[in-house]
Chains A and B, each alone.
Chain A
């Protein structure tokens, strides 16, 4: 014998109505959707008929229980349709049929009505089918405990559907006229059928204004004002500019507004999107290509699929093609501006250069046009590559921040302008430049090859320093650091410590091993194996530095050793390198030794 589960309908309704919807306000959206679908359905049969929607907030029976009446003059329902649409919950096959088979409907009929239980314990639907010969008005009365009744009523009404809600205690704010007007406008401002709100005092048209992309303008200036005004009303922001958007795939129209402030790459790029003129989401992501984060959009799509949660568009090939076409609208806008309004483009780039760099990095043609405009950071200030190449034949660049910091100062004092290519897209752009303009000379510089260009000592000078070199090597060899003396600028720098990125990694391992237990130390050693052998620091003393000159000639061996230690540690600190405990010890030894020596001299002097 088979039995069926007994389901507590009230509980299920509560669960569905309170949990499938993100907020109670959506009951207005669901009602609007049902109304629009009913109108669309009737238009298929009577193309000439004019659909309309009305919302009425009659004077309440009593102050505590306001009522809301929602009417459409759409296709209406017959009694059989009532049973199948309004009485079966969670019948997914029906939903799928509706979604796939009849793509011009937005909603899911009966399901949407459930959302009304969040604000009302009773839903009354009065409906009359618009079909020929259907003159019967039917009433469906549903309760949040899961029961409903259906009966014919004598009530005269035109074809269409009327939904009556009675406010449930605690939901009063959703029945306030201002709130209803706000929500109806929020979800339905683009709908092509008039929506009227009637209160005991007045009747107003909610969706009076057409979006600018549906309007015709006599002059460019009027168009501009209308768009920017629309942007201000929609987002409460004064935008720099606007770009009309259009995509044949997805049947998309809309506008992108240029943001008046810079955006970071990682921030969420959200847009206001409508599906068949009904608001789908205020913060839909993935509408535009990744690089296009300098705009905020409003678009309506008639031919894209929503996700199951109806919060954004479904990621499929249609959406991907749409994204490309919208990206092309923005790209054309920029290219056109480069030709016709360079000063405006300059202002735009000052704010949004990262976005434009991102596009240039993936689009060769665009890169060719824009490369002259894009700013790069160098150790001599921000400049474009064109400006750079006017002054310098070869483009020198450092590929990471660590290297750039190590060399910026020294390079500048040698009039070597170095691009810091550590920022997002910069390295990619430089490499692309190299590829597209093979005649341009590019050279990556790091601290090592920078010091290779330092001037060599003469043989005599080298002879002079023989003893010093021996002492320095003795101090530094145990620290995995090689030594050399060259001449370089600036003369106030006694020594330059340079290290490859492998060395930086080794150093981080070494300092970490000072605190980890033996197990983790062994893991770190294994990890480090690959780079251990070749990694070396390099200390280059500056022959032109007066202090170095004195140190190199010191007769007192101990004093010289201490001074070398201190110069070494100081050059590490200048490069922001963390000190290992060995180096810390060196510094302490060096400093204390020198202090002691100084004190001895003073004492000697006093004596």
Chain B
């Protein structure tokens, strides 16, 4: 008995230690250990608590597949004993799961749809509205490149009422900005974004994301100064946050298009490491795509070799730190293309391959307008 008491104490100590840590590997490891220890006891409540903390750390630390595994366990325990655990939280976190599941191309389309259906069933039987469900269906269809379906779900989401499982107001407004950009209404998106930035609604990822989204559109509108301001403010907010790698890529793309290749190279060096740490294929795709664009821009600017500080683990690592631009470009391009093909095969569309072509289009557009 006393041994199990001791283990319980250790689990709790690890959990409270994790509260003192920023998001990242150390926090994830500490909570992983807490889960492992809790599992040596037959105490579902403790195992559940440790996993709840772990899910959050893994999700916001940018290692979502670990969060998925722990979440699946909690959901199963919740199903066995619905009165024993907090319904709201397990439902709320279902949104995190459907939010990242598309990023893994090894998960099939059918599985993704089934997950959304499962989530919808649970929301319904908990007496909740479907605003959040429609929103994630919209995002999924957008991700796949099914525009009409996406628009249909957006409409449904807009027509549904807010409740306690709807994303926060800041996220909702940011979502509207994203949607207007999706529709091509840059001006309207900017107006909404500026309202959001001026206002009081904030959360752990907004307005960080809002700044990122508007960088390229602002260049498109010829508002270079405002774009630079958004970059300065937005990058600072997410520069240390691995889970924001997707939004960091917007800054990376922006700097290449803006013509500040020196700063783009610093972002490249600083954040390449993250692509080795995360297993999220989608975020890696975005980074590789952005790197490809950057390297192409560098090549056009006559920089045939680049001085870069990349880690030993980079497959083309050069101890002398000098890299052949063309060779690097081919490497990132090939990988971006492979990944795009993998996503397209899963999604049953050619949206990702098109997104690579769009990148080229963005580049051309830039040359005309600057």
A interface, CB within 8 angstroms of B: 264-267, 290, 308-309, 315-317, 320, 400-402, 422-424, 431, 434, 438, 505, 508-509, 511-512, 515-517, 519-520, 522-524, 526-527, 529-530, 573, 576-578
* A308 lies within 8 A of B76 (CB): no
* B107 lies within 8 A of A519 (CB): no
* B76 lies within 8 A of A424 (CB): no
Q: Is the interface of B mostly helix, strand, loop or mixed?
A: helix
With contacts A316-B229, A505-B65, A512-B73 known, what are 19 further pairs, Cβ within 8 A? A265-B20, A290-B240, A315-B232, A316-B232, A317-B232, A401-B33, A422-B25, A422-B29, A424-B21, A508-B35, A511-B73, A516-B75, A517-B76, A517-B79, A523-B72, A523-B101, A530-B106, A576-B33, A576-B36
* B233 lies within 8 A of A316 (CB): yes
7 residue pairs of the A-B complex, CB under 8 angstroms, read A265-B22, A438-B319, A523-B115, A526-B106, A527-B104, A576-B33, A576-B40
Could you say which of B101, B104, B311 contacts A431, with CB atoms under 8 Å apart? Answer: B311
| Chain A residues, Cβ within 8 Å of B263 | none
Which residue of chain B lies nearest to A266 when distances are taken between CB atoms in the complex?
B22
Could you say which of B19, B72, B319 contacts A516, with CB atoms under 8 Å apart? Answer: B72
**In the complex with contacts A265-B21, A526-B108, A527-B106, A424-B26 CB distance below 8 A:** yes
| Chain A residues, Cβ within 8 Å of B168 | none
Nearest CB of chain A from residue B135's CB, rounded to whole Å: 21
* B75 lies within 8 A of A520 (CB): yes
* A578 lies within 8 A of B311 (CB): no
Chain B window 281-303, contacts with chain A (Cβ cutoff 8 Å), 1 for yes, 0 for no: 00000000000000000000000
Which residue of A265, A509, A512, A577 has the most chain B CB atoms within 10 A of its CB atom? A512
Cα(A309)–Cα(B104), bound, Å: 41
* A524 lies within 8 A of B69 (CB): yes
* A526 lies within 8 A of B111 (CB): yes
* B37 lies within 8 A of A576 (CB): yes
* A424 lies within 8 A of B24 (CB): yes
The B72-108 residues at the A interface (CB cut-off 8 A) are 72-73, 75-77, 79-80, 101, 104, 106-108
* B311 lies within 8 A of A516 (CB): no
| Chain A residues, Cβ within 8 Å of B233 | 315-316
Nearest CB of chain A from residue B35's CB, rounded to whole Å: 8
Cα(A564)–Cα(B305), bound, Å: 59
**In the complex with contacts A265-B20, A265-B21, A320-B232, A523-B29 CB distance below 8 A:** no
Cα(A267)–Cα(B77), bound, Å: 33
* A523 lies within 8 A of B107 (CB): yes
Which residue of chain B lies nearest to A423 when distances are taken between CB atoms in the complex?
B26
Which residue of chain A lies nearest to B281 when distances are taken between CB atoms in the complex?
A530
Which residue of chain A lies nearest to B21 when distances are taken between CB atoms in the complex?
A266
Could you say which of B66, B76, B229, B312 contacts A520, with CB atoms under 8 Å apart? Answer: B76
**In the complex with contacts A512-B69, A515-B73, A516-B75, A266-B33 CB distance below 8 A:** no
* A320 lies within 8 A of B236 (CB): yes
Cα(A522)–Cα(B113), bound, Å: 13
Which residue of chain A lies nearest to B23 when distances are taken between CB atoms in the complex?
A266
| Chain B residues, Cβ within 8 Å of A524 | 68-69, 72
* B106 lies within 8 A of A522 (CB): no
| Chain B residues, Cβ within 8 Å of A573 | 40
* B111 lies within 8 A of A522 (CB): yes
Which residue of chain A lies nearest to B7 when distances are taken between CB atoms in the complex?
A576
Could you say which of A308, A422, A529, A577 contacts B26, with CB atoms under 8 Å apart? Answer: A422
B39 on interface, CB distance cutoff 8 Å: yes
Cα(A529)–Cα(B281), bound, Å: 14
| Chain B residues, Cβ within 8 Å of A522 | 111
